[in-house]
A and B are shown apart, each in its own frame.
Chain A
Amino acid sequence: MRRALLAGLVLACVANAWGGDDGRTEWDVNLGLQARAFAHKGLAGQSRVQPSVSVELEYFRSWDQDRQRLTVTPFLRLDAEDSRRSHFDLREAYWSRIGRDWELHIGARRVFWGVTEFKHLVDVVNQTDLVENVDGEDKLGQPMVHLSLVRDWGIVDLMLLAGFRERTFPGRDGRLRRALPGKGSAATYASHAEEFPIDTVVRWSHAAGPLEWGIYHFSGTSRQPLLFPQVNGRGEGYLRPHYPTIDQTGLEAQALFGDWAWKLEAISNSGFDGRYNAFNIGFERTLVGFGGTRSDLGIVAEYMHDGRDERAFDTLFEHDLAVGTRWSLNDAADTQALLGVIWDVETDEYIFSIEGSRRLGSDWTLELEGRVFGGGSLPDRNALLESLFDPTNKSASLQRDDYLQLELKRFF
């Protein structure tokens, strides 16, 4: 039903768009060839090699002297190992009307909020496309009506989020998942509207001198599910997502002083079992022209805290320290790299992470990503359920998932 509504909306807008003749039309396509290599076979014997291909298309048209715009961005990935990772999503399909000091967007969009590097606490609008990447930075398109007002005293965003997107989960043959696979289609909801709630967000953001900040309130269905173990008809275990209804207030703030950027993200969530608070706090220091070269070196340090401590079922990072370095070579190929380590100061679990990218010629990019999970122990096969919910060993199911990923992309 949601898809049909969206398709109808898109068609209506397309019809409208073709009406104008003073506009511009742009097509962009990128094809991706991705290979993941894991250090070990998976807990359930999953393959050590995971190749996949992806295509993202973007159609853009503006008309009415750029006051009206249509953006449609379908995305498709085909994965050779994990059928759940083979998926299609309308990343964006929306119409915009741009006024002098306001703008209105209707349709599926992606909106990012936040300032910290290692954990995105305040980013609340879009559901995570977890099959794409375990870091949670890939998002599904969220249908919405979004009105944004630009005033002297800041920007006000009013959003009606119409329709709920279920989180994607890697399948039985997928890697980088819990010991049991999640099953999105089995999801249950606290809201009577189930998959078609209308969630609301109000946000105010502003900048003054070296400071900038944003504060919002979200009321609706949580993007983070609770996960309940179940057994299917064939006697196989899986996790059933349950999406509670929450109220969440969020704050992000950043202060820039010379080389230093100080960052804060904080939320207060009405919670699934009592209200809780969480925050990320940290800095990034950028050394321009590091060591007499033309490259920039950034030093990042962040602390992540969740008031629920070990009971924070939906995050690995409840009392974790992260440090990293960001390299920008400022060369013609735009070579960049980010190295980091996140360390749980109480359980000693850690994640090493590397991300790098560069352009090859004018139309190709090569991206490298790798992670090493350590400090935790493997789940006990004889007590899988207990292992699954051991609060001091949350990364148990990732301990065999050290991987290196290469992705070659061609842009047209």
Chain B
Amino acid sequence: MTAHLFRAGLLACLLGVGAPSTHGLGVSDRLDGLDSLPPDQAGLLIFTAADEKASGYVDMQVELEMVLRNSRGAATRRALRIAQLEIPNDGDKLLVVFDTPKPIRGTALLSHGHKVLPDDQWLYLPAVKRVKKIASSNKSGPFLSSEFAYEDLIAQEVEKYSYRLVGGATLDGAACFVVERKPVDAHSGYSRQLVWLDEAELRVQQIEYFDRRDDKLKTLTVSDYRLHAERFWKAGRMQMVNHQTGKSTALHWRNYRFATGLHEERDFSTNSLRRAR
């Protein structure tokens, strides 16, 4: 089974994955023969199946509130909107627009994801009307000063990691696969991640991140999954806790919309970045 046959949705792992509740293959069909595979192939099969279930959404729009808390619990809030487009045989395209805080309103990020090559990313700064391309080494940096790195949120292509099924565990009463994945790109900020996916619907429930020195850095917990458009499981809440600094970031996802008629040239070019608001 070659991974590149399967396309991955941006944010797919974090935004959850879709199970066709009324049609298509069930999870058990997709994971046929899992028990007989060596751990690396089993891990890849799980993520490939999860990715397949998340595919076919065409395009998506969602609103996001980000709550940053420092170690004393003081909160800073940011509101943003995300538009996302599936691109056949390549990584997906993503436009993020910042609404608040007001001083950065209209700031926007455009990402053209790729499976193996580094993603292309541009940032638009409305005060100076300037579009700046972002170096790909930036992926390990904080996304909007949050505890999420760019690489945690953007371009979760299957090809960007190698996998190993390390076992099973029960999380909040749900049976989960635990898969270790290692980033392929040397610019990643992580040595490895441990990912919990529930066996029933292959939704990411928890991720532990280990820094380059292999110390435990962060834990992400994902909750409030709901089924959208009768096939896509999407999370309502995510909580990232940084164990080394005591800071945390909560994401609240709202108003998921699918197949809204977004267009590649009109909505995901550097021109659209300049007028995104």
Contact = CB atoms under 8 A, between A and B. Distances in A.
Please indicate whether A and B come from the same complex rather than being unrelated chains: yes
A112 interface: yes
A316 B21 CA distance: 68
B102 A334 contact: no
Interface stretch (B50-58, B194-202, B266-274): B266-274
Nearest to B100: A362
Interface in B86-139: 100-105, 117-118, 120, 128-130, 133, 135-138
B4 interface: no
Interface in A291-321: 294, 296
B102 to A, nearest CB: 4
A96 interface: yes
Contact of B76 (A207, A261, A332): A332
Interface in A379-407: none
Contacts of B140: 288-289
Nearest to B212: A289
B266 A330 contact: no
Contact of A28 (B105, B142, B187): B105
Interface stretch (A80-88, A97-105, A181-189): A97-105
A254 B133 contact: yes
A412 to B, nearest CB: 7
Interface residues of A, number: 46
Interface in A98-139: 98-101, 103, 110-112, 137
Contacts of A207: 120, 133, 270
A175 interface: no
Interface centre among A103, A110, A111 (most CB of B within 10 A): A103
Nearest to B75: A332
B8 interface: no
Contacts of B257: none
Interface string A332-346: 101000000000000
Interface in A275-289: 286, 288-289
A207 B269 CA distance: 11
B126 to A, nearest CB: 10
B71 to A, nearest CB: 12
A256 B142 contact: no
A100 B263 contact: yes
Contact of A100 (B120, B135, B266): B266
A136 to B, nearest CB: 12
A363 interface: yes
B107 to A, nearest CB: 10
Contact of B145 (A103, A256, A334): A334
A148 B70 CA distance: 44
Contacts of B187: 258
A258 B137 CA distance: 5
Contacts of B103: 30, 359, 363-365, 409, 411
A226 interface: no
A111 B129 contact: yes
Given A69-B275, A112-B129, A334-B145, A288 B137 contact: yes
Given A103-B271, A259-B135, A411-B103, A112 B130 contact: yes
Contact of A155 (B117, B128, B270): B270
B266 A334 contact: no
Contacts of B155: none
A64 interface: no
Given A331-B145, A362-B76, A261 B133 contact: yes
A60 interface: yes
A294 B149 CA distance: 10
Interface string A212-224: 1000000000000
A150 interface: yes
Contacts of A45: none
Interface of A: 26, 28, 30, 60, 69, 96, 98-101, 103, 110-112, 137, 148, 150, 155, 205, 207, 209-210, 212, 254, 256, 258-261, 286, 288-289, 294, 296, 330-332, 334, 359, 362-365, 409, 411-412
13 contacts: A26-B277, A96-B275, A110-B129, A112-B128, A155-B269, A207-B133, A210-B118, A254-B133, A258-B136, A260-B135, A331-B145, A332-B76, A334-B104
Interface of B: 68, 70, 76-77, 100-105, 117-118, 120, 128-130, 133, 135-138, 140-142, 145, 187, 189, 263, 265-266, 269-271, 275, 277
Given A101-B265, A112-B129, 8 more contacts: A28-B105, A261-B133, A286-B138, A289-B189, A294-B142, A330-B142, A331-B145, A365-B103
Can you list the 3 inter-chain pairs with the closest CB atoms, starting with the nearest? A411-B102, A101-B265, A332-B76
